Chains A and B, each alone.
Chain A
Amino acid sequence: MSMLRRLGLAAGLSTLLLAGGAQAQDSKTFNIWWFELPDSAEGVVWQKALDEFKASHPGVTVNFQQKTFIQLQKAGSMILNSNQAPDLLEYNKGNATAGLVASQGLLTPLDDTVKQRGWDKILNDTDLQLARYDENGVYGSGPIYGIPTYGEFVSVFYNKDMLDANGLKLPTTLDEFVADMDAFKQKGITPLAMGGKDTSAQHLLYTLALSKADDTWVHNFQGLKTQLDTAPLLYAAQTMQDWVNKGYISKDATGLMDPDAANVFTSGKAPIYVSGTWNLGAFASTIKTFKWGQFLLPTPKYSVGSTGNLWIVPKGAQSKDLAYDFIGLTLSPKYQTELANEGGVAIAADPSTITNPVGSTAAKLFTDISSKGGLGFYPDWPVPGFYDVLIQKTAGLIGGTLTPQQFVDQLKQSYDEAQQNQ
């Protein structure tokens, strides 16, 4: 009897303690993680927003942890499936990451919050495409599970001094772009820096494919709707191998990672580098010896790009309202403008308030793409693990061990297999 009573007492006590603990947490602590590097535009601006958050929530203990991309990439689903998850965290968008945890019921749906807080007026439907995941974890439809606060897209970075020195002007069409590259090649300069075993190669390839792609193709391709229609990719592969053969791209590219290729560009050895806006910060701070700029390779509608990583609120988060407060801050005009001024790609900034030319161009280009619904996303997204397949096969294409036809056939094989087995 006394044994039982003691047990009951203990149970009651611990419930009390737990409840008390939970309550205390609810009103006192806010745990937040992100993995953007501290000196990146997002890292700097979010830190400022967090400072303001602390000031406006004096009773709240804020625990911020700087995470690494690789940790959340490899262990994110395990963390979210435990009670160690924070109240708010940055998470990689896409089916294999946010989609997987959303479909397992580990995230808080945010549709009501989006309406209540008026975020639907800041973010358009294109911006929210990657925030929605259906019951299979596929993006594009279903409830909103995350909030993007910045954008990213692939564009051409060019060395203005080198263009000027060779009497070339900024191209506005693909043909002019090719003509410029040819002019550089005639002078003995390999024009295009490229990380052939990294993302910049597949991003150029997909950009070229998108120049021959319509709505149906992009929707089918990204949605894994039908077997792969290889025509645009075949054109892209032929063009790219042609550029290698003409010497616009060095075969050595297959031995370079993106940081090496970026270094070829920043050191003034190559005048052109096709890559994403994530380079803006480093270029702005390290290129001191020449003038540079960025422009979009012309395509009918779609460009390689997407909204950035998402703020997600784990299902078991204790302080959801605090999480929403912070998301609201990062979406506010003030911090969106700050983001653009730090050289980031603002998703919702007022262009007239941006003082940094780098951020202003980027925000304008992103709005151009997003407002016409032209985010073509990335070539590796439809199929889990397609990223590695693309890396391997693109290296083969550049190195000349694969013909364009073999290249698309091998892509089609793994695409169609995934399409059948989905």
Chain B
Amino acid sequence: MANVTMSAANRAALSRSPIQRRRPGGFGRWLVLAILMLGLAVTLFPFLVAVLNAIKLPTDYAVNGPVALPRSFSLAGLATFWTEVDYSRKLINSVLISGLVAIVGVVLSLLNAYAIGIGRVRGGRKLLVLLLMGIMVPQESLVYPLYYMAKAVGLYDTIWSVIIIFSVLQSAFGTYLLSAVLTAFPREIIEAAEIDGATRWQVLWHVVVPVLRPTLAVLGTFFFIWTWNEFLLPLVLLISNQNQTVSVAMGVLQGQNSTTEPTAIAAASLLGILPTVIFFLIFQRTLTKGVVVGAVK
């Protein structure tokens, strides 16, 4: 108890001193903040543009263009997009697909990395490079072969085809990342567990996973968002409207001869990003805690 208080006080003292020393440069402090706020504004600006145009009436847009502040207010664009593309259905599909890919992808990555990083199997490095091809291959080149394979096994036009494919593709990055982390995992901990009679399977789930949990959460978050935004393979493999994802539904952004109303495009963009923004805001705390590489050293 006393110890803790001591160190807290210590730290407070330590962190106070630099501030005191920097006090003469108080102006610099606000300069840094101002530069950051400028960066913030630049980063958020396109989002603002989306919001401003999504709530305009098409006639307002026709007269004043995308640059002007809205002189009308209408949620019709948002509502139309919602009903026209059966958005709630697409939302469920996207959540299901991205969620399952996040889980399955992380598990696949973990199993691979456990063998490579902890097990240090022979040829592990080479396998790692080979697996990395999953992110190296241009996706366009996979389209035709995957289409014929999906048809052959009866998974064409089912969300399972997309879930399986992306779990494997994403696990390439995951394996690479987790292998780096697990190579640096303290051997003593594992050895201690093995001496206690734990099997490999138990070591994985009761020793390794608890330590890695924050990293796994970050990985899952990445997978979820990446899968959510995938366009080409879902477009080709998910034919029926009831199987399609949000990002495929956003294909209405590209009508023939660009006939889509720009306000509708803004509305679609806004609804297209909203779920991931919400998801990210929920999970962004895990990103703080998640130690990505070399978790324990």
Q: Which of B109-167 contact A (CB under 8 A)?
A: 147, 151, 156-157
Does A286 contact B258, Cβ atoms closer than 8 Å?
no
Nearest-CB distance from A181 to chain B (Å)?
Answer: 22
Does B239 contact A266, Cβ atoms closer than 8 Å?
no
Q: Point out the residues of chain A lying under 8 angstroms from B259, CB to CB.
A: 37, 40, 278-279, 281-282
With A66-B84, A70-B235, A263-B66 known as contacts, the answer to whether A278 contacts B59 (CB < 8 A) is no
With A278-B257, A286-B59 known as contacts, the answer to whether A82 contacts B156 (CB < 8 A) is yes
Question: Is B223 interfacial (CB-CB < 8 Å)?
Answer: no
Q: Bound state CA distance, A71 and B236, in angstroms? A: 7
Q: Point out the residues of chain A lying under 8 angstroms from B235, CB to CB.
A: 70-71, 74-75
Q: Point out the residues of chain A lying under 8 angstroms from B147, CB to CB.
A: 78
Q: Which of B230-271 contact A (CB under 8 A)?
A: 232, 235-236, 239-241, 248-249, 251-252, 254-262
Nearest-CB distance from B150 to chain A (Å)?
Answer: 9
Category for how many chain A residues contact B: 35 or more
Of the candidates A39, A68, A257, A259, the one having the most CB atoms from chain B within 10 angstroms of its own CB is: A68
With A38-B84, A78-B147, A286-B59 known as contacts, the answer to whether A69 contacts B239 (CB < 8 A) is no
Q: Point out the residues of chain A lying under 8 angstroms from B156, CB to CB.
A: 82, 84
Question: Is B14 interfacial (CB-CB < 8 Å)?
Answer: no
Write out, one digit per residue, whether chain A residues 270-303 have a CB within 8 A of any chain B CB (1) or not (0): 0000001011011001111100000000000000
Please pick, from A70, A74, A282, the residue contacting B261 in the complex, using a CB distance under 8 A.
A282
With A35-B256, A70-B254, A79-B239 known as contacts, the answer to whether A266 contacts B63 (CB < 8 A) is yes
Q: Bound state CA distance, A40 and B59, in angstroms? A: 16
- Least CB separation from B83: chain A residue: A38
Q: Point out the residues of chain B lying under 8 angstroms from A268, CB to CB.
A: 63
Question: Is A199 interfacial (CB-CB < 8 Å)?
Answer: yes
Q: Point out the residues of chain A lying under 8 angstroms from B232, CB to CB.
A: 74
Question: Is B105 interfacial (CB-CB < 8 Å)?
Answer: no
Question: Is A65 interfacial (CB-CB < 8 Å)?
Answer: yes
Question: Is B41 interfacial (CB-CB < 8 Å)?
Answer: no
Q: Bound state CA distance, A60 and B43, in angstroms? A: 53
Q: Which of A87-136 contact B (CB under 8 A)?
A: 92
With A69-B255, A82-B151, A278-B257 known as contacts, the answer to whether A288 contacts B59 (CB < 8 A) is yes
Does B59 contact A84, Cβ atoms closer than 8 Å?
no
Question: Is B28 interfacial (CB-CB < 8 Å)?
Answer: no
Please pick, from B80, B239, B252, B262, the residue contacting A75 in the complex, using a CB distance under 8 A.
B239
Of the candidates B61, B66, B258, the one having the most CB atoms from chain A within 10 angstroms of its own CB is: B258
Nearest-CB distance from B79 to chain A (Å)?
Answer: 13
Q: Point out the residues of chain B lying under 8 angstroms from A35, CB to CB.
A: 256
Question: Is A258 interfacial (CB-CB < 8 Å)?
Answer: yes
Q: Bound state CA distance, A355 and B256, in angstroms? A: 27
Q: Bound state CA distance, A268 and B63, in angstroms? A: 7
Q: Point out the residues of chain A lying under 8 angstroms from B239, CB to CB.
A: 75, 79, 82, 84
Q: Point out the residues of chain A lying under 8 angstroms from B255, CB to CB.
A: 37, 68-69
Q: Point out the residues of chain A lying under 8 angstroms from B63, CB to CB.
A: 266-268, 288-289
Does A84 contact B157, Cβ atoms closer than 8 Å?
yes
Q: Bound state CA distance, A276 and B58, in angstroms? A: 20
Q: Bound state CA distance, A323 and B188, in angstroms? A: 72
Does B257 contact A286, Cβ atoms closer than 8 Å?
no
Does A198 contact B258, Cβ atoms closer than 8 Å?
yes
- Least CB separation from B263: chain A residue: A286
Does A65 contact B62, Cβ atoms closer than 8 Å?
no
Does B258 contact A259, Cβ atoms closer than 8 Å?
yes
Question: Is B25 interfacial (CB-CB < 8 Å)?
Answer: no
Does A286 contact B256, Cβ atoms closer than 8 Å?
no
Question: Is B74 interfacial (CB-CB < 8 Å)?
Answer: no
- Least CB separation from A263: chain B residue: B65
Does A65 contact B240, Cβ atoms closer than 8 Å?
yes
Write out, one digit per residue, whether chain A residues 53-85 have a CB within 8 A of any chain B CB (1) or not (0): 000000000000111111100110011001010
Q: Point out the residues of chain B lying under 8 angstroms from A257, CB to CB.
A: 258
Q: Bound state CA distance, A92 and B61, in angstroms? A: 29
Q: Bound state CA distance, A281 and B156, in angstroms? A: 37
With A78-B236, A282-B259 known as contacts, the answer to whether A267 contacts B59 (CB < 8 A) is no
Q: Point out the residues of chain B lying under 8 angstroms from A276, CB to CB.
A: 257
Q: Point out the residues of chain A lying under 8 angstroms from B236, CB to CB.
A: 74-75, 78
Q: Point out the residues of chain B lying under 8 angstroms from A70, CB to CB.
A: 235, 251, 254
Does A37 contact B59, Cβ atoms closer than 8 Å?
no
Q: Bound state CA distance, A287 and B248, in angstroms? A: 31
Question: Is B64 interfacial (CB-CB < 8 Å)?
Answer: yes
Q: Bound state CA distance, A322 and B41, in angstroms? A: 57
Does B64 contact A267, Cβ atoms closer than 8 Å?
yes
Q: Point out the residues of chain B lying under 8 angstroms from A40, CB to CB.
A: 259
Q: Bound state CA distance, A268 and B80, in angstroms? A: 27
With A75-B235, A263-B61 known as contacts, the answer to whether A66 contacts B241 (CB < 8 A) is yes
Does B248 contact A71, Cβ atoms closer than 8 Å?
yes
Nearest-CB distance from B262 to chain A (Å)?
Answer: 6
Q: Bound state CA distance, A198 and B259, in angstroms? A: 12
Nearest-CB distance from A265 to chain B (Å)?
Answer: 9
Does A37 contact B252, Cβ atoms closer than 8 Å?
yes
Nearest first, the 10 closest Cβ-Cβ pairs linking A and B are A286-B62, A266-B62, A68-B251, A69-B256, A70-B251, A278-B257, A75-B236, A70-B254, A65-B241, A84-B239
Residue numbers of B with Cβ under 8 A of A are 58-59, 61-66, 80, 84-85, 147, 151, 156-157, 232, 235-236, 239-241, 248-249, 251-252, 254-262
Q: List 17 A-B contacts (CB under 8 A).
A: A37-B252, A37-B260, A66-B85, A69-B255, A74-B236, A84-B156, A257-B258, A258-B257, A258-B258, A263-B65, A266-B63, A267-B65, A268-B63, A276-B257, A278-B256, A286-B61, A288-B63
14 more contacts with CB within 8 A, not counting A68-B249, A259-B258, are A37-B259, A38-B84, A39-B80, A68-B252, A71-B235, A71-B248, A78-B147, A82-B151, A82-B239, A84-B240, A263-B262, A268-B63, A276-B257, A278-B257
